[in-house]
């Protein structure tokens, strides 16, 4: 159940990365350029995105470590952990791209790729792990996995929408409020 909490916290950290830009103090501190009411700099989102990416990647690593503890090698749970780690790496790469004026398209691509990883983890790997837990009659694992699936699906869908919103030049504040 700790993993559910950790993944949820990571998803909230990603939301905060986009919503923090709306703070007047940050807006003044970074002198964000406005074009027709739209933020053209993603720089303020870099640090929170990096922290979120590292946390998501670490949660994937912890999930892989859990499979070692439970002697569940090569199953759906370890595949889900690897895919979640990749999702975190994509978010961290998006954070690195936020620091550059020309990085907007890269940020969109990385966020959307992270979304794809989270959706793959929830729709394929965790469902396989759920089937394995049912077959092993492990009710605790079954309950935990069942709780994670909708959270990851929601996070993946939200990240996909956020990436699309940035690509469509929505303001960063709008992305944080409407999509995440």
Start-end of H helices in 20-103: 24-30, 46-69, 76-98
Structure confidence at residue 64 (pLDDT)? 93
Could you tell me which residues come within 8 angstroms of residue 176 by beta carbon, excluding any fewer than 6 positions away?
Answer: 15, 17, 18, 19, 20, 21, 22
Locate tokens 């077959």: which residue?
135
Locate tokens 């990749």: which residue?
86
Q: Lowest mean pLDDT: which of 36-45, 46-55, 69-78, 156-165?
A: 36-45
Q: How confident is the model at residue 180 (pLDDT cuts 50, 70, 90)?
A: low
CA distance 132 to 134: 5
- Nearest Cα residue to 1 out of 142, 164, 99, 166: 142
pTM comes to: 0.77
Per-domain boundaries in the chain: 2-175
The model's pLDDT over 52-98, given as tens digits with 9 standing for 90+, comes to: 999 999 999 999 999 988 888 889 999 999 999 999 999 999 999 98
Structure confidence at residue 164 (pLDDT)? 87
Checking if the pLDDT of 39 tops 60, the result is: no
CA dihedral 129, 132, 138, 140 (to 10 degrees): 10
Q: How confident is the model at residue 4 (pLDDT cuts 50, 70, 90)?
A: very low
Contact present, 46 and 26 (Cβ < 8 Å):
no
CA distance 95 to 81: 21
């Amino acid at each position: 159940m700790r993993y559910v909490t950790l993944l949820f916290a990571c998803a909230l950290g990603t939301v905060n990365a986009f919503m923090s830009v709306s703070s007047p103090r940050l807006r003044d501190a970074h002198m964000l350029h406005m074009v027709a009411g739209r933020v053209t700099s993603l720089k303020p989102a870099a640090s929170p995105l990096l922290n979120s990416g590292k946390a998501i990647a670490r949660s994937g690593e912890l999930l892989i470590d859990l499979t070692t503890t439970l002697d569940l090698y090569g199953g759906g749970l370890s595949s889900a952990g690897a895919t979640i780690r990749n999702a975190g790496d994509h978010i961290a790469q998006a954070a690195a791209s936020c620091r550059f004026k020309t990085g907007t398209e890269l940020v969109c691509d990385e966020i959307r790729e992270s979304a794809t990883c989270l959706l793959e983890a929830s729709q394929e790997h965790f469902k396989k792990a759920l089937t394995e837990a049912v077959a092993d009659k492990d009710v605790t694992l079954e309950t935990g996995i069942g709780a994670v699936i909708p959270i990851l699906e929601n996070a993946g869908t939200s990240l996909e929408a956020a990436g699309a919103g940035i690509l469509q030049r929505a303001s960063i504040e709008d992305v944080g409020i409407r999509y995440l």
